[in-house]
Structure formats: C-alpha cells, structure tokens
Amino acid sequence: MDNHSIINPILWAKTKNVNLAHLLYSIFWKVQKNIFLWKNGNICNLPYIRILCWNTFIKSLRMYDIIIIGWGAAGLFCSIFAPKNLRKIILEKNGSLGKKVILSGGERCNVTNIDITPEDDYFGENIKAIHSLLAKFSNYDMIDWVEKHGISTCVEDRGRVILESGKSKDLLDLLMRESTKNATEIRTRLDIAKIEKTDGIFRIHGNDGSVVEGKNLVIATGGKSFSQVGTDGFGYTIAKEFDIEMTDPYRGLCGMVTREDLSELSGSTLDLTLSLFDGKKLLYDEKGAFLFTHTGLSGPIVFNAVIKLGEHLRKLGIKESQQKGYFEEHITIRLTFNEESMTKKVKNFFELDDMKNDAVFHLADLKSWAEAKVTGGGVKLSELSNTFESKKVEHLYFIGEVLDLTGKTGGFNLQQAWATGYVCGQSFGK
C-alpha cells in the first residue's frame, strides 16, 4: 500500500489514475492515522475503521468500471474513447496484441474504405444499422483520426485506404499509445475459465485462479475464423451463456474449391466478372481482381461472393453440415472473361473465342475456417441498443466482428470495428 501524502489528493489521484473510493480511502487512512498517532501514539486503536478502510481499498482496487475482453481493433478503440477517469482493463488471451490489425491489407493496414455504400458493402440481418453507426463514426472520421496523429494514408484500388508508410505496425503503435494514454490497463495471456454476473457485478475467472471484477463488460473477441491468431468464437459462447440471440456464424472472405480441376491454371490472375448462382437464380455478381489457385478460385471478388453465399444459406436455414451437399447440387459460378485482361494459357484452357467468353464451374466447398478472413453472422443487432449494450443483460456490450455485421474485403470490417468500438466507448461518458 502507498504511504501517500494527502496534501494534494486530487493531483495525486489524477497522476495515479485511481477512482473516488480509492481516493477517499487514502484521505480517511491519513486522517485516522494522524488523529490516533497524535492521541495515543499508535494507530491500532480503531480496528473497525481500519477494517472498513481496508475493505473499501481492496474493493476499489479490484473493481473496474469497464472490462474489455479482446485486444483487437474494436476493443482498443473502445478503450481509447471511454472516459479517462473510469478504471478500464483489457483482458487478452494472446501474448502479442492486435494481430489482425497487423495482418490487414497485406501488413500495410487497410484502415478503412473511402467509398462505403452500406447496403452493397455490408451483410447481416439488420443491415440498416450501419447507416446510424457510420453517421456517428464514419470512414472519414477514421482517416481524420489517423492523420491527426501524424500517420499519412493513401487510397488504392477498390477505395482501400492504406497507410502511406506501408507498415501496419505504425497504426498499432498509435493505438497502443492512445489506449495507455487514456489510462487503460492491459492484461495478456489470460485464459478465461468462466464469466458470471452477480449483484450487478461481472466476475471474470481466470484458469490461474485470478478474478477480475467490473461494472461493465465489453465483449470484443472477434469471430471464429482465422483462429490461429486467437479468435475461436469465445464471444458466441458468452452470448449463449447470457441467452443472447445470434445468427449462425459462417465463413466469409475465403476462396472456393471447385469440382473441376483448375490446378493447371494455378497462379493466373485476371480481371473478370464473377457471377454466383443458386440454380438459375443470380445471387451475386462483381467485376474485379481474380486468381486461379491449385484447388479453385480466389481473389477479392471470390471472397465477397463467399459472404453473400453464407448469408443466402443462412436465410435458407442450411446448416454447415449440410452445406457441401447443397453446394454440389445447386451452386455454380460463371466467370466472364474480357479481352483486355486475358492470358494465352487461360484462353486455350477454356477454348475461348469470339463466340465464347465465359466458363461455368460447380462449387464443391469453401476453403477452411482457418483461411477465412472474417466470420459472417454473430450476435444479432436487434439484441443490442444503439450503444451495443445488450437489451437483456444490463451493462453487457458486444462490439466488432462478434456482431452480425460483416463487410466485404477492402477495409469495411476494420471500419465496423473502429465505429462500434468508438460508439460503445463514448457511451460510458454519457
């Protein structure tokens, strides 16, 4: 325990970033110590006051105003925009932090997208929510924030906003600095065993026997794809435990495996139009960058088509275990080639000529969860207020990729994470 002075307690509290209970305790402790030292020459004469002080002190030390689980884009932004005077802690299972921020945009950080059309660029059951979200924290707000802190950005193909330095780490360092400056504690390598809420307090039990207590709990644990960096669907487990409704998570932004063997074309990149069909029904089409792989199809337009497909299957109620069968029977992909972007190899392989400029494939499967860059589906927005607080469980929040609000490739998913983190963090000051 500090043997701190009470000459200027406000200043002391500010520098140490403690809450009111902590401050009151230190004043109380000093006063009673001085009175009884003066009166009796020792400080043991008021056991009740000492026990009371001690309990208040211990509780204030243990109790956080905000516990954020997950040190990714959303959790970080929440911690940066939550009021400074609130005690905040981020709990993270990994040793290293912000891995997906680093990986984004091929490690050049695709911060956001310059051109967002909500209905075209996002998927989810309550897609309209993205309008009010972006009105509160838009792509331009994000660019301003980054540039205001001395990091330049530039716009590349498909409206992707990238760091001019080409180093994601610059943004990660900034985020860490701002989070720390806003008095956020971080605890890493925490393996959470259990979360409970009793008497209005959330208790996070670690497998090491530790307990972290807080008044508000923010779940920012991402989705369940790309689990090699720590995202294993923990947020969905918490949602289930608290009886919060979700749409089934599905793979987004990954490649497709075709029934046809295209390995001969592996590595060929083209600009073309991809059209995705369920039977005769056109589900999606987009023109853009495309790549043949050993097992099938890849590239931005394929990734986007995969999210659209995931949403379509969700609406049809097709479970993951039934997907492969459904793909084989119903789903086809048509590629329409154009002369400007064509290689001899591709032309010969598909025997393209003036009369024939397309080829049709049958979808056998999607690439694995480990390869999917995002998870579609998740906690339903209809379960949450506009500050992302659960309508069923007071003071429990969900932000970022754990939500049923998923973007195309190109900066839309990070933008969602920044915006939901910002809105949630700010709401604690209101």
Ligand X SMILES: Cc1cc2nc3c(=O)[nH]c(=O)nc-3n(C[C@H](O)[C@H](O)[C@H](O)COP(=O)(O)OP(=O)(O)OC[C@H]3O[C@@H](n4cnc5c(N)ncnc54)[C@H](O)[C@@H]3O)c2cc1C
Residue number, 90 or 270, with CB nearest to ligand X: 90
* Residues in 317-376 at the binding interface with ligand X, rule: CB under 6 A: 373-374
Q: Using CA atoms of 120, 123, 124, 130 in order, give the dihedral in degrees to the nearest 10.
A: -50
The minimum distance between CB 303 and ligand X, in angstroms, equals 10
Q: Is 226 in the site for ligand X (CB under 6 A)?
A: yes
Task: Establish how many alpha carbons lie within 13 A of residue 42's alpha carbon, considering only the half-sphere containing its beta carbon.
Answer: 4
Q: What angle do CA 261, 262, 264 make, to 5 degrees?
A: 115
Residue 217 · residue 91 · CB < 8 Å: no
Residue 179 binding ligand X, by CB under 6 A:
no
Stretch that binds ligand X, among 47-55, 178-186, 226-234, 279-287 (CB under 6 A): 226-234
Which of 222, 296, 377, 425 binds ligand X (CB under 6 A)? It is 222
> Contact with ligand X (CB under 6 A): which of 43, 103, 143, 352?
103
Residue 379, both tokens: 């906690």
CA distance 229 to 413: 17
Using CB under 6 A as the binding rule, whether residue 300 contacts ligand X is answered as no
Please count the other Cβ atoms lying within 10 Å of the Cβ belonging to residue 296.
25
- Least distance from ligand X to the Cβ atom of residue 148, Å: 20
In the complex, minimum distance from the CB of residue 17 to ligand X, in angstroms, rounded to a whole number = 23
What is the DSSP secondary structure assignment for residue 96, as one 8-state letter?
S
Count of all residues that appear for the chain in the document? 430
Whole-number Å distance between alpha carbons of 385 and 302: 33
Among 25, 105, 123, 380, binds ligand X (CB under 6 A): 105
3-state SS, residue 65: strand
Alpha-carbon distances of 21 from 15, 55, 200, 342, 411, rounded to whole Å: 15, 11, 18, 70, 42
| Minimum separation from the CB atom of position 189 to ligand X (A) | 9
Contact call for residue 231 and ligand X (CB under 6 A): yes
Question: Measured from the CB atom, is 67 or 346 closer to ligand X?
Answer: 67
**Which x/- pattern over 71-100 shows residues binding ligand X (rule: CB under 6 A)?**
xxxxx---------------xxxx-----x
Least Cβ distance, residue 182 to ligand X (angstroms): 17
Query: Which distant-in-sequence residues (6+ apart) come within 8 Å of 15 by Cβ?
Result: none
Residue written as token pair 């998927």? 123
249: contact with ligand X by CB under 6 A:
no
Residues in the site for ligand X, rule: CB under 6 A? Answer: 69-75, 91-94, 100, 103-105, 110, 192, 220-222, 226, 230-231, 234, 373-374, 400-401, 411-414, 417
